[in-house]
Structure formats: structure tokens, C-alpha cells
């Protein structure tokens, strides 16, 4: 059993995590059209991570004996000016998600749900990593500017990222 407010907050966050997956899938398509395969790989890892984030909460709501009710996923952006523009969007999006996770933690605190607080702590730590990852690539793109060979070198580096299924909770 879980407080109704807590359950609703989790369901809302599940939707946000699936939206994140959808947004990164849209960005993956953008880079695929540019034939920047390393960026495609980086976004593909991001897509899988967001799916894992959503499913972690999905499974948790069920584990607590509540019903998962899914809602419509918002249409993601699909048009960016350049790779730098994409990574500005990613960092802004992750900062938004961090604020949503903090709100979720606040609901857990307000409803005195200690178990949910412990569970949400994993997501709080994960958001630090998410912002650092996005901010790191963004900083590199800002240094690169119009240097195409540096962009291709970064593309090669981003191609090395691999997905490791997170152990959530």
C-alpha cells in the first residue's frame, strides 16, 4: 500500500522517464541523419537508461501493491540547429528531471513514506551523474566550435560508451 498522492507522483514520474526515452530517441534520429554514429551510440545508451529508470518505478509501484496507470507520452522535439543545440537541450532537460525527482522526494517526505524516500535516493544520485554526463559533452562541444575534425574525434569517443543495466533501489 502507498499513499494515493505518492502513487500519483510516481505515475507522473514514470511518464516523465518514458518521455525522456522518447526525447533521446528523437535526438538519436537527428544524429543518425547526420551520420554521426558515435553520437547515435551515446543517445542509444541514454534511451536504454531512461527505459530502465521508468521500469524501475513501474516495478516499484507494483511491488508496493498499487496499480500502474500509464498516460500519453508528449510529442518530443525533432528539430535542432546543431549538435551543440542538442546538448543544450539535454542538459536543460536533465535539470528539469532533477527538479521533478526532488518534488517526488518531497511527496515521500510529506507523506512520511520512508521506504519510498530510500528508493528515490537512488534517482537523486543518478541525476547528479546525468547532469555531469550531459554537461561534460556540452562543454566539449562549446570548445570544439566549428572545428569539424575535433567534432569527428568527439564522435569517435562517444561511440565507446556502453550501456550497463542499472541496479535500482
Smallest gap, in angstroms, from Cβ of residue 158 to Mg ion? 19
Q: Is 53 one of the binding residues for Mg ion (CB under 5 A)?
A: yes
Provide the 8-state DSSP code for 162.
Answer: -
- Which among 14-22, 55-63, 74-82, 108-116 is the span making contact with Mg ion, rule CB under 5 A? 14-22
Count Cβ atoms within 10 A of the Cβ of residue 64 and give its class: 0-12 exposed, 13-18 middle, 19 or more buried.
Answer: middle
Residues 6+ apart with CB under 8 A from 95: 131
Smallest gap, in angstroms, from Cβ of residue 17 to Mg ion? 5
Distance, C-alpha 35 to centroid of its chain: 23
Q: Is 16 one of the binding residues for Mg ion (CB under 5 A)?
A: no
For residue 54, give the nearest of 17, 12, 81, 4 by alpha carbon.
Answer: 17
12 vs 153 by CB, closer to Mg ion: 12
Closest chain position to Mg ion (CB): 53
- Residues numbered 99-138 forming contacts with Mg ion, rule: CB under 5 A: none
User: Which residues bind to Mg ion, rule: CB under 5 A?
Assistant: 17, 20, 50, 53
Amino acid at each position: 500500500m502507498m499513499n494515493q498522492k505518492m502513487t500519483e507522483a510516481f505515475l507522473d514520474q514514470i511518464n516523465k522517464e518514458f518521455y525522456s526515452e522518447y526525447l533521446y530517441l528523437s535526438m538519436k534520429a537527428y544524429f543518425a541523419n547526420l551520420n554521426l554514429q558515435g553520437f547515435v551510440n551515446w543517445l542509444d545508451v541514454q534511451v536504454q537508461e531512461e527505459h530502465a529508470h521508468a521500469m524501475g518505478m513501474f516495478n516499484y509501484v507494483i511491488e508496493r501493491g498499487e496499480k500502474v496507470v500509464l498516460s500519453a507520452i508528449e510529442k518530443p522535439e525533432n528539430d535542432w540547429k546543431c549538435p551543440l543545440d542538442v546538448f543544450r537541450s539535454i542538459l536543460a532537460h536533465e535539470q528539469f528531471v532533477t527538479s521533478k525527482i526532488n518534488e517526488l522526494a518531497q511527496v515521500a517526505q510529506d507523506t512520511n513514506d520512508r521506504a519510498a524516500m530510500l528508493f528515490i535516493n537512488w534517482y537523486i544520485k543518478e541525476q547528479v551523474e546525468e547532469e555531469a554526463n550531459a554537461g561534460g559533452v556540452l562543454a566539449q562541444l562549446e570548445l570544439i566550435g566549428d572545428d569539424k575534425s575535433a567534432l569527428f574525434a568527439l564522435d569517435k569517443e562517444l561511440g565507446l560508451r556502453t550501456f550497463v543495466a542499472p541496479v535500482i533501489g
